[in-house]
Structure 1
């Protein structure tokens, strides 16, 4: 899958602005495959869904996918095609590369088939398969609803009866700002603005139920890029300590389980692999210090609320006259200690 960003900006440029927009371009995807960057998952019971790229005719759309789109020309869509009729079965297709806090998601959906259900929806602020919000439309039940899934238990849906015609494309828009949510179906707002404080950020996922065969197209999300807590801590320390020459935090993440730089004073360092020094510091909880020209480089463990090392912090300081490695570690400790008091788990620090 490729991403197109509006306004002629590169991805790197957009991520440094207050807002960014992702347009999910499926034209390079091979029919019959799962689009790149997405992962099939399941909430509830039964077998997982079958998600794949299919070709469909944009002539069926109420409006074209893009200005100048050719009528009658097939184009790729994301489809859930499994017809397993297990009742409490909710196939998910999770977009893995990004976590979204505040966002506006726009897409089109079409319910194609289903005997027990014909539903289309989006799970948002998803923590895992047992914790997320859902907004969904039902073509068989003619309902539009929102609900929360918390620790695997569904709240009662909130929403009215709404005519959802099967076999045609519908526009869906989801807006999440802080703890407030708004939803639009085909330009109308069936549910008044809702408020919930359970999940402040999470992943996005396409959602269906039971034997629903459903197509999704024209996905676009405008969002405020989230800055990892690790990066915010680095930025704060660099401002607070003018004699700091550089900071890096090495850790693992769910998306990349090997040790690497997750935050740094130099953006070009983010993503660099960790080495033996960082691994040894985390394993032994023993600081490292070395001198390089006019600076000291120290590496200290960063521990979670249980005392487990979840990261290694590399601190570069200007060398004072006569300073030793022991003195350099002593200067670096207060910096790391301040970071340590700001989080409880690795996930909170890095995700």
Structure 2
């Protein structure tokens, strides 16, 4: 089990702006010798099947999570880290460990990193903007060649690479800090708190984060964290605007499919506990038949209406619960719902927009 510590940062010290969330990966909650929950292990290339790469939590001495990024091996204490602990000279490629819990758009990802061994290669680092283990960016340190490298991999192939040139000393068996700050199509890379370079790439602008080691390298990673602004999709943005524009509305839910084969689910709601819930048969029927659903209670009415895309096709549904007037008819209730429907339709071209 891995514990994810979540905090809200109200400071502008990080370039992501106010109210960013900090996600810390606490490996002390995972049993030594096990891989943490929500982390996958993959090999890009050809692993040594007799001695495959092994990602596991280990006991070691690490810097404090509060230590400066350039603290190195000063003031170490017993702790737990995530390590790729298997070394093989017959291995060709890279061992990758990805956090599968979430994808990030604008974010800062940092970790402490120590190269532990490697007869032929001593190279490891962080992975970011990863679609999977075949498509990603990697920022790495090399303690043999004393350089930092940024690599882009697309469909298992390295498409671009940049590395430092000059007199750098990057010792093995010493803790380093790697940090990448991604915002839209730009990202800044840091080593031990020192900016290395700023890059731009208009490709994939969201993805997973993780760790990587090359060939026979073994390495350890401690105190990784992600600071990010949680993305608010259009469906939820629409909910917020509906709340402010229509005071007599008590509840609104927007339903849509992530893809044509996916179930119809709540993608926007005034009640966050309902997000992700599967639609009822009544709501499914509204979308299939384009007929309105209607339910009357003592003080409220609920209308479920189809939502159409720019081509006039029903692609989503909205359920609106509102306080009713004395003598309000079903026809009048539907008429009161239509401005909400039109408001949603005016902001979307198709159902996919609701998820962006």
> What TM-score do you get using the length of structure 2 for normalisation?
0.76
Alignment pair present for 1:299 and 2:304: yes
**After superposition, what is the alpha-carbon deviation per residue over 1:134-158, rounded to whole angstroms, capped at 9, x for unaligned?**
2222234433122333455433212
In the alignment, does 2:55 pair up with 1:51? yes
Aligned to 2:176: 170
User: 2:97–2:212: 8 Å Cα contact kept in structure 1?
Assistant: yes
SS of 2:195's partner is coil
Residue 116 (structure 2) aligns with: 112
Q: Please, which of 151, 160, 163 is the counterpart of residue 147 of structure 1?
A: 151
Bigger drift between 235-244 and 330-339 goes to 330-339
Conserved? CA contact 2:242–2:340, under 8 Å? yes
The unaligned stretches of length 5 or more in structure 2 are 11-17, 68-72
Corresponding residue of 1:224: 229
Classify 1:38/1:229 alpha carbon distance in 2 versus 1 (closer, same or farther; 3 Å).
Answer: farther
Contact 1:18–1:225 (Cα < 8 Å) also in 2: no
Structure number with higher strand proportion: 2
TM-score (norm 1): 0.77
Q: Is the 8 A contact 1:108 1:219 kept in 2?
A: yes
Per the alignment, residue 188 of structure 2 pairs with: 182
Aligned match of 1:12: none
Q: Tell me the residue number matched to 2:295.
A: 290
Query: Please, which runs of 5 or more residues in structure 1 have no aligned partner?
Result: 10-16
Cα distance change on mapping 1:115 and 1:314 into 2, 3 Å: farther
CA-to-aligned-CA distance 1:270-329 (integer Å, 9 cap, x gap) = 455543334444566654222223332123455678998775432223435655445544
Larger Cα-atom Rg: 2
Change in 2 beyond 3 A, CA 1:72/1:166: closer
8 Å Cα contact 2:254/2:269 also seen in 1: yes
Partner of 2:103: 99
Is 1:248 the counterpart of 2:253? The answer is yes
Say which SS state the counterpart of residue 64 (structure 1) adopts.
Answer: coil
CA RMSD of superposed structures (Å): 3.8
Q: Does 1:134 align with 2:138?
A: yes
Measure how far apart 1:5 and its partner are. Answer: 4.4
CA shift for structure 1 position 120? 1.7
The aligned counterpart of 2:5 is 4
Quickly say closer, same or farther: Cα 1:90–1:242, change in 2 above 3 A.
farther
Seen in structure 2, the aligned counterparts of structure 1 residues 328 and 175 have a Cα distance that, compared at 3 Å, is same
Matched-pair contact (CA < 8 Å) for 2:4–2:24:
yes
Q: CA deviation at 1:213?
A: 2.1
Change (3 A) 1:231 1:66: same
- Using a 3 Å threshold, how does the CA distance of structure 1 residues 199 and 299 change in structure 2: closer, same or farther? same
Query: What is the DSSP-based 3-state SS (H/G/I as helix, E as strand, rest coil) of the residue aligned with 2:344?
Result: helix
Deviation (angstroms), 1:30: 0.8
Partner of 1:203 in structure 2?
208
